[in-house]
């Protein structure tokens, strides 16, 4: 167990951050799934900028790696362009 006040505070902060990051990560994964499940071109075109913005924000805050965000954005853009 931690012996210092600062160590206890660090543990509390880490727990809160972990919970927040898990929530945002799960929300992002659900948004990506929803976009990939979409077969309607108009709906996908509306969803793509929202998902892209979410990925950029999470990469900026180090919830996900910037290369992962770039790869997901690229794949999603290709998918949306392919929908007939």
Domain coordinates in residue numbering, the chain: 5-82
If you ran DSSP here, which 8-state letter would residue 61 be given?
A: T
The helices-and-strands tally (H runs, E runs) of the chain is 3, 0
Residue 77 has pLDDT above 90, yes or no: yes
d(CA 32, CA 41): 15
pTM confidence score: 0.85
Q: For the chain, what percentages of helix, strand and coil (3-state, to nearest 5) are there?
A: 85, 0, 15
Task: Give the pLDDT confidence of 21-68 residue by residue, as tens digits.
Answer: 999 999 999 999 999 999 999 999 999 999 999 999 999 999 999 999
> CB under 8 Å to 50, separation ≥6 — which residues?
31
The class level of CATH for 5-82 reads mainly alpha
């Amino acid at each position: 167990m931690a012996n210092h006040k600062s160590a206890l505070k660090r543990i509390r902060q880490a727990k809160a951050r972990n919970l927040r990051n898990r929530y945002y990560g799960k929300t992002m994964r659900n948004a990506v799934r929803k976009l990939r499940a979409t077969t309607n071109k108009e709906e996908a075109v509306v969803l793509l900028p929202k998902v892209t913005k979410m990925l950029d924000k999470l990469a900026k805050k180090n919830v996900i790696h910037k290369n992962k965000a770039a790869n997901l954005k690229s794949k999603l853009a290709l998918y949306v362009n392919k929908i007939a």
